[in-house]
Structure formats: structure tokens, C-alpha cells
Amino acid sequence: MGFQNIFNCPSCGRVFVKGVRDICNVCYQKVEEQYDACVKYLREQKTATLYEVSDVTGVSVKQITKFVREGRISLAGHPNMTYPCEICSTPIRDNMMCDSCRNKLAKDYKQVQASEQHRKAAAEEDTKLSYNIQDRINNRR
């Protein structure tokens, strides 16, 4: 039988049939109400910050940030709206990381790649040396 689509809602724990959404209908309606409250407040208060919206509406900073990242709430026209970088919590207006964290991640990635290339080159050199030694032994016989 088809129980592969039956899950517990990660928000409330209710059993539901997973389809388009990852949460149950009750929680989905609550999220939509939160979204409506945020949008309504932002229409009235163009200069509000993320934390002001959260304080006034009661919607968590995490949920408002999710709305922004999903493109449901646009930061255009809201000059004071920023959300925290995923790594260091520096206020940002786009992407998931600030420029500093993104640059550090890219630098770390390049270092890992260089280290891996160095390791491969060293392994190839070890292989060449072992063949040379084996060739010398075979030539003596």
C-alpha cells in the first residue's frame, strides 16, 4: 500500500499526506497568515527593519527571512530591511552569505583543491619512484 507519502508535520507533528508542501494544511494556513501580516505591515511602514516587522507582527525573524529568500517579500522599496548572513549574522540584502564569508569560503575551497592536487602529484611521484626502483632491480638480473 502507499504509505510513502505519509509524514509527520515538522512544525506541529500532525500526520499528513505530503504533496506539494512540506507542512500540514493547518501549519500552511498559519504561515500564510504570518506572511499576510508581514506584507500588510511593510506596506504601511516602508522603512521598517526586519526586527521591527518581527516585533510588531509576532512573526519570527527566521520565518520573515525565509519569506525574503523565497522571493515572497521583496526588499526593493524597503531600504532598512536586511537579514542576517547564514555564517556570521552580518546584515545583508541578498544571497545567503555576506561578501566576506563568501570570499572566505571561496578561498578555503581553492586551498582544499590545491591541497588535493598536491596530494595527487605526490602520489604520482611516489608511483614513479617505485617503478624506477623496480626497473633497476629487474635490469640487474
pLDDT at residue 98, rounded to an integer: 95
pLDDT at residue 132, rounded to an integer: 60
Torsion sign across C-alpha atoms 49, 50, 51, 54: positive
pLDDT at residue 122, rounded to an integer: 78
pLDDT at residue 139, rounded to an integer: 66
Q: Where are the beta strands (DSSP E) in the chain?
A: 6-8, 15-17, 83-84, 91-92
Instruction: Report whether 49 contacts 31 (CB < 8 A).
Output: no
Question: Any residues with CB less than 8 A from the CB of 21 and at least 6 apart, and which?
Answer: 28
The structural domains of the chain, with segments of one domain joined by +, span 25-84, 99-141
Q: Which amino acid, 84? A: P
Instruction: Report whether 50 contacts 82 (CB < 8 A).
Output: yes
pTM assigned to the model:
0.71
Classify the phi-psi angles of 59: left when phi > 0, otherwise alpha if psi is within -120 to 50, otherwise beta.
beta
- Give the three cell numbers for residue 83: 537579514
pLDDT at residue 1, rounded to an integer: 46
pLDDT at residue 66, rounded to an integer: 94
DSSP secondary structure, 107-125, as one string? HHHHHHHHHHHHHHHHHHH
pLDDT at residue 30, rounded to an integer: 97
pLDDT at residue 134, rounded to an integer: 60
What residues of the chain score a pLDDT lower than 50?
1
